[in-house]
Chains A and B, each alone.
Chain A
Amino acid sequence: AQSVTQLDSHVSVSEGTPVLLRCNYSSSYSPSLFWYVQHPNKGLQLLLKYTSAATLVKGINGFEAEFKKSETSFHLTKPSAHMSDAAEYFCVVTNDYKLSFGAGTTVTVRA
C-alpha cells in the first residue's frame, strides 16, 4: 500500500522569499516520488522526480526536493518565490505503476 500526506493545504509567501511544501509518504517498498504543478486551467507539469538515485533532486524553475527515508519525507523547496509560482502542487508516490496523489497544496505569492 502507498499513500501521500501533504501537510499544508495552503501556503502563502511573499515574492522573493523561500517556499517550503511538505510531503510525507507511506510505501511498502522503495518508492518513486514526484512533485507536479498545476496552474489554473492548465495541465499537470512534472517539477521533479526521485527514483532511487541522488537523494537531493533538482527540478525545473529552481525547485528542489530532498528524499529522507528515515523521515519518510519528500519536501519541496525553492529559495526565492516568483509570482508565476502561484499554483496547485501535488506530491505523488508510486512503487509499481499506479500513482497515488496527495491532496494538494495551494501556493499563493504576495507581491
Chain B
Amino acid sequence: SAVISQKPSRDICQRGTSLTIQCQVDSQVTMMFWYRQQPGQSLTLIATANQGSEATYESGFVIDKFPISRPNLTFSTLTVSNMSPEDSSIYLCSVTIPGKGGGYTFGSGTRLTVV
C-alpha cells in the first residue's frame, strides 16, 4: 500500500489566519481525498483532488474556505482559510491505488486548534 507523509502533525492558529496542510505520497495516484474529523466525530469527506483539474467539493464545503492544490500525482495541499474556532478538527488526506486490493491509505492527520 502507499505511504503518506502529512504535515504539519498539529498546529495552533489564531482566528482569521490560514493554514496549509501538505500530503506527499510515495507513489503516483490519480485521486487524493481530504477529510475532516471534528472532535469526537466521524470522518467527513471535504473534497476529491485529481491532478490537472479542480477539486470536487462535497456539500457544505466550498473552495473559498478550503482551497486545494494538486500540482502532480504525488502531492496535494489543503488550505483552511480565514479560520474560526469551529475549524478546530483533525484533517486527513487519503489515497487509493486501483488494483492494490481496494484499500484506502490515510495520512497521520493534522490536528488543528484555532484560538
Where the two chains meet, the residues of A that have a C-beta atom closer than 8 Å to any C-beta of B are 32, 34, 36, 42-44, 46, 49, 51, 90, 97-99, 101-104
- B77-111 interface with A by 8 A CB criterion: 92, 94, 96, 101-109
Query: Number of contacts between A and B (CB, 8 Å)?
Result: 43
Chain A nearest CB from B36 CB (Å) reads 11
Contact partner, B102, options A44, A51, A102, A104, Cβ 8 Å: A51
Main SS at interface, chain B: strand
At the interface with chain A, which of B20-28, B42-50, B65-73?
B42-50
CA A34 – CA B105 in complex, angstroms?
12
Sort chain B's interface into a size bin.
20 to 34
* B104/A43 in contact, CB under 8 A: no
Query: What is B's interface to A at a CB cutoff of 8 Å?
Result: 1, 31, 33, 41-45, 48, 92, 94, 96, 101-109
- B43 lies within 8 A of A90 (CB): yes
Q: Smallest CB-CB separation from A106: which chain B residue?
A: B40
Q: Given the known inter-chain contacts A51-B101, A97-B96, A99-B33, please indicate yes or no for A43 contacting B106, CB distance below 8 A.
A: yes
Write the chain B residue with the least CB distance to A44. B106
Known contacts A97-B31, A99-B33; 5 additional CB pairs below 8 A are A34-B103, A36-B106, A43-B108, A98-B33, A101-B42
| Given A43-B108, A90-B42, also A97-B48 (CB < 8 A) | yes
Give the distance in Å from the alpha carbon of A36 to the alpha carbon of B92 in the complex: 14
Residues of B within 8 A of A99 (CB): 33, 43, 45, 94, 104
